[in-house]
Chain A
């Protein structure tokens, strides 16, 4: 607000006003009649104006210094410009001021000359001497006249004599007074004037002292007159003393000459006396004008500097904005000079940068879109994808990779394969294969490997491709699928086919074999000798038994080959466990059943009959494994919150455990350690569990014994919907 008020417009107006005031002041200093009376007012006006200018300058400089301290852009340059302009203005102004003052002093001094002064003094003295001579003549004449008047006998004679003497001497006025000033007689050239000029106290006083009064007096309206008074003593003691006074204007010629000398001398004296005040007033006027000029120059310098620096400051601000990433910065072009060209170039440059940046942003956006699309595709791929750079560091991966490897790979981004192997020992075969693939001089490779996952052995089908590109873009990408389920399904299908063929190829001939054996037995057993009878009996019995056994085996195999039909219901697993163990506790007295059942176990949707069959199988297997010596069988349940809230059911015994060589194949058909078993219990159990959405695995405990771990899904909503569907069907 203040800076707007004290802007250039106001400064210009004030400067113009002060310039006019200065002109008037200089004229007034020269004693100009028109402005002489306003000299003091003009001085005051100028002083106020200059003070205002000084205040404005101080304010502007204070602002500049404040901006400089605040490190405002352009303030340093503005200050430099102002300093330079001020110095440029000050130096010539100071020089001019110095010489002007010198010139003034000497110029005024040169007006006065000793010879002229002497001449004027001499002229004045000459004038005084001439007047003195005239005065003395009149005094002498008056002395004679006084004698004559003294000798007069009567007043009438005095009057007559006075008239005669005045006319004879051509005096203006001649009068006779008492010593107290009373008029006794008078004679005047001016017949209108009745009362003569009365001698004042000074005249009387001088006469009383016995002296003659004779003086040249200036008269009103110009000119000089001679006043001479002489005392006339009384002739007798009783007579009073009288005063004879003569007034006589100087002759016109003398008077004019005298006035001329007087006037010239007075003017010279006056000028000489006014020399110092005049010099002082001129110097003061000059100083005020100089100061005013300096302040105006300073203010103009400030405004010019600001105006000059404004585009540079804008440019500096613009470059800062560009440096900070604001490429849309446009500066106002206020002039057509080189600075204007510079600003225009800057604007063009920012425009081009902005356009380029927009293009980059667009392409970046496109790239991001593509990347997002790729990520989406990767995320929705069922195959695991991992990419590694040349330094064998993990760059990207998808969710399927994490799901297949049962680990969060996000923490391993930018980790090397070696570091990943340390942290993920289960995935070591996969990682080693990738490492090998990067090292090998092949562009593509494909392999099938097995890894040990927390849920058992997994078979992965991997294919890798080398990436070619820059340092950061090269490396390899590995795509892998969990083929465990597929292989298992293929295996199951193969086994099923084998079972069906066996049933067809083996079971069909068994009945004729059995019937033939029974016919032979019925026909020949009683007809042959006793020794042969025993042999026949034993042989036919063996054939019947073996046929029966083979039928059972084929039936079991058929069962295994049959698809499992699951009927899910809401099931409290803990209750089911207690019910089943209740049945076994009675006859498996050598086994000590232990329970660690979670209290907060939710009900799950599963097939209770299937789970019952699985549990029976596992308990019988454990019982067989523990043998006659018996042992402990611990059944535990819990919820694994870390793995999608899976229900975990474990059966753990302290028997000899699974043979290590069979551990990986324990769930395959006919893999068994028992002599009487069919070798299909565990595969069937596993099929049931898998049909119910769970997993089943077996392992040995380090302290001895085996553990079978079953994971079943706890999907309430899904379960509820299945339940609901089931309910509707029923």
Chain B
């Protein structure tokens, strides 16, 4: 009886240990999507934004990519109009999806740029991610935003988990290694 109890205890300890290690691994895995900096200014009726990004998928998404899972990284941009109220008004919202994929036959990482639908192939993931570290965007200022309105830009970089294959969506729901999100960064739009 005591032996059985100790076996159970040992089994439980092992399971807990493995779970803890996996959890620590998931948390400590160096995955990072960051919006490092950015600036925006208006020219005529256009708003031009230049932003510096840092993309590091981490081992698990990278492994999925190599195994043929296409990933989409969204660059979400909000044009926000300041108001006297405690909340602000979203004047416009744009999304720029960077679709990345691994091509096994050519051993290349391909990138479909959102701007101009430009298709590129890279020999390494790092090279591909580095290619989108500097992004320049230009969009028309929407109607309703006057020249004198104080506006600012909010930028967020995220892994689009909705476009993952079904079974992986569940893992993305539970495991932090799949929850890649830079959070929102914002800056004033200079006139």
Per-residue contact bits, chain A 123-158, to B (CB 8 Å; 1 contact, 0 not): 010011001000000000000000000000000000
Asked if A43 and B105 make an inter-chain contact with CB atoms under 8 angstroms apart, the answer reads no
A-B residue pairs in contact (CB < 8 Å), sample of 21:
A32-B166, A36-B166, A40-B169, A124-B105, A127-B105, A202-B127, A218-B106, A218-B110, A220-B117, A259-B105, A262-B103, A262-B104, A266-B104, A269-B104, A270-B67, A270-B165, A273-B67, A274-B168, A277-B171, A280-B170, A280-B171
Q: In the bound complex, how far is the Cα of B167 from the Cα of A36, in angstroms?
A: 9
Q: Which residue of B lies closest to A32 (CB)?
A: B166
Instruction: Please judge, given known A-B contacts A220-B112, A269-B67, whether A28 and B105 are in contact too, CB under 8 Å.
Output: no
Q: In the bound complex, how far is the Cα of B170 from the Cα of A40, in angstroms?
A: 7
B16 at the binding interface (Cβ < 8 Å): no
A261 at the binding interface (Cβ < 8 Å): yes
Per-residue contact bits, chain A 251-286, to B (CB 8 Å; 1 contact, 0 not): 000000011011001110110111001101100100
A217 at the binding interface (Cβ < 8 Å): yes
Q: Residues of B within 8 Å of A, CB-based: how many?
A: 29
Q: How near does chain A come to B91, taking the closest CB pair, in angstroms?
A: 28
Asked if A218 and B108 make an inter-chain contact with CB atoms under 8 angstroms apart, the answer reads yes
Q: In the bound complex, how far is the Cα of B125 from the Cα of A410, in angstroms?
A: 117
Asked if B108 and A267 make an inter-chain contact with CB atoms under 8 angstroms apart, the answer reads no
Q: How near does chain A come to B171, taking the closest CB pair, in angstroms?
A: 5
Known: A273-B67, A273-B69. 15 other contacts (CB 8 A): A31-B167, A36-B169, A39-B166, A39-B170, A40-B173, A128-B107, A202-B123, A216-B106, A220-B112, A259-B105, A262-B105, A265-B68, A273-B68, A274-B167, A280-B171
B54 at the binding interface (Cβ < 8 Å): no
B162 at the binding interface (Cβ < 8 Å): yes
A677 at the binding interface (Cβ < 8 Å): no
Instruction: Collect the chain A residues with CB atoms within 8 Å of residue B108's CB.
Output: 215, 217-218
Q: How near does chain A come to B125, taking the closest CB pair, in angstroms?
A: 14
Instruction: Collect the chain A residues with CB atoms within 8 Å of residue B110's CB.
Output: 218
Asked if A219 and B63 make an inter-chain contact with CB atoms under 8 angstroms apart, the answer reads no
Per-residue contact bits, chain A 23-55, to B (CB 8 Å; 1 contact, 0 not): 000001111100011011001000000000000
Q: In the bound complex, how far is the Cα of B78 from the Cα of A70, in angstroms?
A: 62
Main secondary structure of the interface of B (DSSP, over half): mixed
Q: In the bound complex, how far is the Cα of B68 from the Cα of A79, in angstroms?
A: 55
Q: In the bound complex, how far is the Cα of B102 from the Cα of A272, in angstroms?
A: 15
B21 at the binding interface (Cβ < 8 Å): no
A696 at the binding interface (Cβ < 8 Å): no
Q: Which residue of A lies closest to B170 (CB)?
A: A281
Instruction: Please judge, given known A-B contacts A40-B173, A274-B165, A280-B170, whether A261 and B67 are in contact too, CB under 8 Å.
Output: no
A224 at the binding interface (Cβ < 8 Å): yes
The number of chain A residues touching the other chain, given as a range, is 35 or more
Asked if B119 and A280 make an inter-chain contact with CB atoms under 8 angstroms apart, the answer reads no
Instruction: Collect the chain B residues with CB atoms within 8 Å of residue A29's CB.
Output: 166-167
User: Number of contacts between A and B (CB, 8 Å)?
Assistant: 92
Main secondary structure of the interface of A (DSSP, over half): helix
Per-residue contact bits, chain A 280-313, to B (CB 8 Å; 1 contact, 0 not): 1100100000000000000000000000000000
Instruction: Please judge, given known A-B contacts A40-B173, A273-B64, whether A278 and B167 are in contact too, CB under 8 Å.
Output: yes
Instruction: Collect the chain B residues with CB atoms within 8 Å of residue A30's CB.
Output: 166
Interface residues of B (CB under 8 A from A): 63-64, 66-69, 102-108, 110, 112, 117, 119, 121, 123, 127, 162, 165-171, 173
Q: How near does chain A come to B137, taking the closest CB pair, in angstroms?
A: 21
Q: How near does chain B come to A26, taking the closest CB pair, in angstroms?
A: 11
Instruction: Please judge, given known A-B contacts A28-B166, A272-B67, whether A218 and B103 are in contact too, CB under 8 Å.
Output: yes
Instruction: Collect the chain A residues with CB atoms within 8 Å of residue B107's CB.
Output: 128
Q: Please report which residues of chain A, range 213-252, place their CB below 8 angstroms from some CB of chain B when the two chains form the complex.
A: 215-220, 224
Q: Which residue of A lies closest to B121 (CB)?
A: A217
Instruction: Please judge, given known A-B contacts A30-B166, A36-B166, A39-B169, whether A265 and B104 are in contact too, CB under 8 Å.
Output: yes
Q: How near does chain A come to B26, taking the closest CB pair, in angstroms?
A: 14
Instruction: Collect the chain B residues with CB atoms within 8 Å of residue A265's CB.
Output: 68, 104-105
Q: Which residue of B lies closest to A285 (CB)?
A: B170
Instruction: Please judge, given known A-B contacts A218-B106, A262-B103, whether A31 and B68 are in contact too, CB under 8 Å.
Output: no
Instruction: Collect the chain A residues with CB atoms within 8 Å of residue B68's CB.
Output: 265-267, 269-270, 273
Instruction: Please judge, given known A-B contacts A30-B166, A270-B67, A273-B69, whether A217 and B171 are in contact too, CB under 8 Å.
Output: no
Q: Which residue of A lies closest to B65 (CB)?
A: A273
Per-residue contact bits, chain A 615-650, to B (CB 8 Å; 1 contact, 0 not): 000000000000000000000000000000000000
Q: How near does chain B come to A680, taking the closest CB pair, in angstroms?
A: 118
Q: In the bound complex, how far is the Cα of B101 from the Cα of A616, in angstroms?
A: 152
Q: Which residue of B lies closest to A121 (CB)?
A: B104
Instruction: Collect the chain A residues with CB atoms within 8 Å of residue B69's CB.
Output: 270, 273-274
Q: In the bound complex, how far is the Cα of B173 from the Cα of A273, in angstroms?
A: 17
Q: Which of B63, B68, B171 is packed against the most chain A CB atoms within 10 Å?
A: B68
Q: Which residue of A lies closest to B168 (CB)?
A: A277
Asked if B170 and A219 make an inter-chain contact with CB atoms under 8 angstroms apart, the answer reads no
Per-residue contact bits, chain A 192-228, to B (CB 8 Å; 1 contact, 0 not): 0000000000100000000000011111100010000
Instruction: Collect the chain A residues with CB atoms within 8 Å of residue B127's CB.
Output: 202
Q: Which of B63, B67, B105, B112 is packed against the most chain A CB atoms within 10 Å?
A: B105
Q: Which of A218, A224, A269 is packed against the most chain B CB atoms within 10 Å?
A: A218
